């Protein structure tokens, strides 16, 4: 992404966005991000963006923009659209050791609901793209979204996330 930004910015992309906003071709200016947090800050600071889109889930707090970028975007008034909240579906796979941790949680939820609730619990998040492929998933996610509020997870639930994350990390080779 850095090479793309380094080519695009000198071509006056921000002036193009200003013109497109002024003449009504677009209503909002935003960007999707896939690089390190340093570049993320640079891009946020380069223009008066309306929103950004970042990858964010409980396994990827330090990946790409991560939590630091999430908070920086919100501090700068950007709406934050989260992609990959289920990490491409990986966080919904039934793994016995992971399922055993969730079974000890004070509240019973599906794996997808746990992962989505973690993202929704961050007040900086504006929209979550959950990657649904079946009608039933749409309906479940709508039901889960009603309960997915900022700061809605207890410390005990957050402790379970830490335990689950540690278990996943033991299994990740690369």
At 99-140, the pLDDT tens digits run 999 999 989 999 999 999 999 999 999 999 988 888 988 888
Q: Which CATH architecture has domain 2-171?
A: Alpha-Beta Barrel (3.20)
Helices (H) and strands (E) in the chain, counts: 8, 4
Structure tokens at 36: 């390190």
Provide CB contacts within 8 A for 173, sequence distance 6+: none
Give backbone dihedrals phi and psi of 87, rounded to 5 degrees, phi first: 50, 55
Distance in angstroms (rounded) separating the CA atoms of residues 41 and 33: 11
In the predicted model, what is the mean pLDDT of residues 150-155? 93
Distance in angstroms (rounded) separating the CA atoms of residues 99 and 115: 13
Is the model's pLDDT at 173 over the cut of 90? Answer: no
The reported pLDDT for the residue numbered 172 is: 80
Q: Is residue 74 within 8 Å of residue 44, measured between CB atoms? A: no
Provide CB contacts within 8 A for 46, sequence distance 6+: 9, 14
Distance in angstroms (rounded) separating the CA atoms of residues 146 and 45: 33
- Ordered by start, the domain boundaries in the chain are 2-171
Distance in angstroms (rounded) separating the CA atoms of residues 23 and 137: 39
Is the model's pLDDT at 174 over the cut of 90? Answer: no
In the predicted model, what is the mean pLDDT of residues 31-44? 96
Q: How confident is the model at residue 146 (pLDDT cuts 50, 70, 90)?
A: confident
């Amino acid at each position: 992404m850095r090479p793309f930004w380094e080519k695009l910015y000198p071509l006056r992309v921000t002036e193009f966005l200003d013109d497109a906003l002024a003449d009504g071709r677009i209503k909002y200016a935003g960007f999707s991000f896939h690089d390190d947090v340093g570049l993320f800050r640079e891009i946020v600071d380069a223009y008066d963006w309306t929103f950004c889109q970042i990858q964010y889930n409980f396994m990827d707090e330090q990946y790409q923009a991560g939590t630091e970028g999430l908070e920086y975007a919100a501090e700068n008034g950007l709406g934050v659209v989260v992609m990959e909240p289920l990490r491409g579906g990986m966080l919904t796979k039934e793994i016995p050791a992971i399922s055993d941790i969730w079974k000890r949680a004070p509240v019973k939820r599906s794996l997808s609901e746990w992962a989505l609730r973690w993202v929704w619990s961050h007040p900086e998040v504006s929209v979550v793209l959950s990657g649904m492929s079946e009608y039933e998933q749409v309906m479940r996610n709508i039901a889960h979204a009603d309960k997915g509020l900022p700061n809605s997870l207890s410390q005990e639930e957050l402790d379970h996330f830490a335990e689950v994350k540690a278990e996943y990390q033991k299994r990740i080779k690369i």
